[in-house]
Structure 1
Amino acid sequence: MNTLLLGVVGSTAYGLAHAGSDVDRLGVYAVPTVELHGLHLPIDKAATVVRHDPDQTVHEARKFAMLCLSSNPTVTELLWLPSYEQRTPLGDELVGLRTAFASADGVRNAYFGYATAQFKRLLTTGQFQSKMRKRQSKHGRHLLRLLDQGYEYYVTGRLRLRVDDPERYREFGDRVAADPEVARPVLAAAQEKFDGATSPLPLAPDEPAVEAWLRRVRKEYL
């Protein structure tokens, strides 16, 4: 596999990992360009490779770029890590392009939307089994993280992954596990903050810059 960029993401990157947490890796790879000319193209589901022990997800270059252009929080964070386990010159170029993927509405809609999705999961996850309570606590932690990270990204134009006060997120997660409705006013307050803020991010991503990078990838693996 032609790995362009690989790093440790998730709870480890946020500073929210505990003794039993998985170490999640995310990466970008490039298929040989000739594979893009056959009957069965490496796109959509076929463009993602998931492995376990250790946990690792890698997206093909085009799919990764498309996800980042929509400000997908789970994928975007790879471009804002402080260090990488694998990093090629094309991976360096990709990190250098990280601001080209963002737009004001894209960041707001993605991060607030993901937080809202976490809230829906809270409402549909059972509260009484120990395993379910742990899952709800995790959803609660990440709901708050998404709101905080998304708002800061929206108003500064930069994504900071590591949280300042991990205990605040753990405590919130525990409260949410006891009563998911605790999250509802937090979402409402976040929406009000977004509504009252302005963003330095552009109205639209810089697609030409991203496409130029992807074409360089295709030329490299021709």
Structure 2
Amino acid sequence: MTVTNILLSGIVGSTAYGLAHADSDVDRLGMFAAPTEDLHGLHTPKESHVSTAPDRTLHEAAKWCRLALAGNPTVMELVWLPEELYEVRTPLGEELLGIRTTLLGARRVRDAYLGYATQQFRKLHNRGDGTPTAETGQRIAKHARHLKRLCTQGYELYATGELTIRVDDPESYHRFGREVAADPDAAQPLLRDFEEKFAGTRSVLPEQPDERAAEAWLRQVRRHFYTEAAQAATPPA
């Protein structure tokens, strides 16, 4: 997969969380800018490119902004990575890092992170309904680790306005995964506890994100890549 105009890209997933094991895949997430002129045609460019071997997801800048403004936990990781995990970091990408807190709104962060955590809870319960196998147990443990991570990271973001990608005490996540693999209902108290924490905490975030900052940044991206295309198309004097 060849995608041009990548603005920001880095290693995410279990490697970034500090939860990877020897057989874990290395996941990459990034953002690119479609050439501005291509956005004016009859058929607009693809907004996402997903590949395996290597595992990489790239979202077009506008789609990434929409997902981030909705509080999407997966795309939000891209602007909170430790510096050493970035593989592409352009000036426009740097500017996006500078406005990352404006993309946050208390209600959307709470609903998105708790919503994703609840999805993980349902997945582990659905997998736990069948005949137990070693593979099923591994899948349940993985969903349980994600559930705990989403609750922990989402609450931190909601309460402090900061997001720490690498988890504290990775072994506690693996231990929680093993406990839930043995008994899927063991995940319910943690989920309920975080629901109560969210409900009982006043967020430092505004109720809604500031879309104006994202809009201004995106228009800057469009100007940048329109200018380059126009200059390339201008015949020499």
The bucket for the TM-score relative to the shorter chain is over 0.9
* Map of 1:130 onto structure 2: 134
1:203 alignment partner AA: E
Q: Specify the code of the residue in structure 2 equivalent to 1:34.
A: E
Size of the alignment, in residue pairs?
219
Aligned to 2:52: 52
CA distance in 1: counterparts of 2:29 and 2:64, whole angstroms: 10
Match of 1:144 in 2: 148
* 4+ residue segments displaced more than 3 Å: none
Q: What does 1:1-222 correspond to in 2, within 5 Å?
A: 1-42=4-45, 46-83=46-83, 84-125=86-127, 126=130, 128-222=132-226
Is the Cα contact below 8 Å between 2:11 and 2:28 reproduced in 1? Answer: yes
Question: SS at the partner of 1:162?
Answer: coil
Aligned 8 A contact 1:127 1:177 in 2: no
Shift of 1:139: 0.2
* Structure 2 gap ranges (5+): 227-237
C-alpha distance in structure 2 between counterparts of 1:195 and 1:32, whole Å:
43
SS in 2 for 1:221: helix
Q: Work out the CA distance in 2 between the residues paired with 1:102 and 1:122.
A: 29
Whole-angstrom distance in 2 between the partners of 1:139 and 1:116? 10
For normalisation by structure 2, the TM-score amounts to 0.90
Q: CA RMSD in A?
A: 1.0
CA drift of 1:130 comes to: 1.8
Secondary structure at the counterpart of residue 11 of structure 2: strand
Displacement of 1:127 = 5.5
Contact 1:11 1:21 in 2 (8 A): yes
| Per-residue deviation, residues 6-30 of structure 1 (Å, max 9, x unmatched) | 0001111111111111110000000
TM-score by length of 1: 0.96
Question: How far apart, in 1, do the equivalents of 2:108 and 2:142 lie?
Answer: 25
**Displacement after TM superposition at 1:175 (Å):** 1.1
> Shift in Å at residue 184 of structure 1?
1.1
Tell me the amino acid that sits aligned with residue 97 of structure 1: I
Structure 1 gap ranges (5+): none
Identical aligned residues as a percent: 58
